[in-house]
């Protein structure tokens, strides 16, 4: 019986990419059927496709890249928080009951298939970021494609998260997950110097598997 719950999106050609961004593709470079000794493929995708973590450098030329991450951030107690599907933006009042150092937001996006792009997603307010900073949150995640609205150029939530030293995960898959406390393992691939990296994110129902 599987106990770890996979909350990552599958990487395949049909997964919705940010408009104009590079979608996922996997091409065959060697094939046993064609006489090669192995099957081998090459992957191409935006670093922001599917479930991933943003580095500050994504929105700030002077910000830290993926090389600056502390892995402790991505491992430990977490809470899945239900955000009402009609919420325009995530606000501090949605977070009042939470106590975990890692918060994962289950929003209206959990009702949308990952294969269809929708700009009708719930972003994160700067006030919610301040609330998380005051409550010593080190990581937040969302099932939405971004923490800022799709038409934002200011990217206020991304910048506020960077100032607060809070890492964000985007494009989680939380449709089958009940709100509550879990242990999160969401290690990003080791891609030094980048603006983001793909993450395989999983939850364990026992919230005390790992230290804070
Ligand atoms: N905020 C989203 C996506 C994003 O901002 C983005 C990704 C690829 C190409 C352009 C993007 N933003 C553009 O305005 C992210 O961080 O994944
Ligand atoms: Zn991103
Ligand atoms: Zn982002």
Q: Which of 17, 18, 196, 198 to mutate to test the pocket of ligand 1 (most atoms within 8 A of CB)?
A: 18
Q: What percentage of the chain reaches a pLDDT higher than 90?
A: 99
Distance 53 CA to ligand 3 centre (A): 8
Q: What is the pLDDT of residues 151-189, one digit of tens each?
A: 999 999 999 999 999 999 999 999 999 999 999 999 999
pLDDT on residue 2? 80
> Region 60-64: what's the mean pLDDT?
98
Q: How far is the CA of 69 from the centre of ligand 3 (A)?
A: 16
When pLDDT is averaged across residues 180-203 and rounded to a whole number, the result is 98
The set of protein residues with a Cβ atom below 6 angstroms from ligand 1 is 18, 21, 46, 48, 54, 58, 146, 170
Whole-number mean pLDDT of the chain? 97
pLDDT at residue 77 is higher than 80: yes
Out of 19, 56, 60, 146, give the residue to mutate to test ligand 1, the one with the largest number of ligand atoms within 8 Å of its CB.
Answer: 146
Domain ranges in the chain?
5-9+47-204
The residue whose CA is least distant from atom 1 of ligand 1 is 146
Quick one: tokens of 194? 């980048």
What pLDDT sits at residue 36? 98
ipTM: 0.92
Task: Please identify, by atom number, the ligand 1 atom nearest to the C-alpha of residue 168.
Answer: 16
Tell me which ligand sits closest to the C-alpha of residue 199: 2
Compute the distance between CA of residue 57 and CA of residue 139 in angstroms, rounded to an integer.
17
Cα separation, 73 vs 54, in Å, equals: 13
Ligand nearest to the CA of 21: 1
pLDDT at 101: 98
In tens, the pLDDT along 8-17 reads: 999 999 999 9
State the pTM of this model: 0.97
Average pLDDT over residues 184-203: 98
First-to-last CA distance in the chain? 26
Q: What is the mean pLDDT of residues 190-201?
A: 98
Q: Residue 1: pLDDT above 90?
A: no
Q: Is the pLDDT of residue 18 over 90?
A: yes
Counting from 1 in the atom list of ligand 1, the atom nearest the Cα of 148 is 1
Overall residue count recorded for the chain in this entry: 212
DSSP state of 97: T
What percent of the chain has a predicted confidence (pLDDT) above 70? 100
Burial (Cβ within 10 Å: 0-12, 13-18, ≥19) of residue 164: middle
Which CATH architecture describes the domain 5-9+47-204?
Answer: 3-Layer(bba) Sandwich (3.50)
SS3 71: helix
| DSSP string covering 104-164 | EEE-GGGGS-TTS--S---EE-HHHHHHHHHTT--EEEESSS-SS-TT-SS-HHHHHHHHT
Active site residue 58: yes
The single residue of 48, 52, 58, 94 carrying the catalytic annotation is: 58
């Amino acid at each position: 019986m599987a106990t770890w719950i996979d909350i990552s999106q599958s990487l395949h050609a049909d997964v919705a990419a940010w408009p104009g961004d590079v979608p996922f593709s996997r091409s065959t470079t060697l094939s046993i059927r064609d006489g090669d000794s192995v099957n081998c493929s090459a992957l191409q995708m935006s670093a922001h496709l599917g479930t991933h973590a943003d580095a500050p450098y994504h929105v700030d030329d002077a910000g830290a890249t993926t090389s600056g991450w502390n892995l402790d951030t991505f491992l430990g107690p977490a809470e899945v928080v239900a955000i009402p599907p009609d919420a325009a933006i995530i606000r501090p009042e949605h977070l009042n009951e939470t106590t975990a150092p890692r918060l994962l937001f289950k929003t209206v996006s959990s009702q949308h298939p990952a294969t269809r792009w929708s700009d009708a997603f719930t972003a994160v307010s700067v006030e919610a970021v301040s609330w998380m900073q005051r409550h010593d949150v080190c990581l937040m995640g969302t099932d939405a494609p971004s923490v800022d609205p799709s038409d934002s150029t200011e990217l206020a939530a991304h910048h506020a998260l960077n100032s607060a030293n809070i890492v964000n995960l985007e494009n989680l898959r939380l449709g089958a997950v009940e709100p509550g406390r879990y242990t999160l393992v969401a290690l990003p691939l080791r891609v030094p110097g980048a603006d983001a990296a793909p993450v395989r994110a999983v939850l364990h129902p026992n919230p005390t598997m790992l230290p804070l």
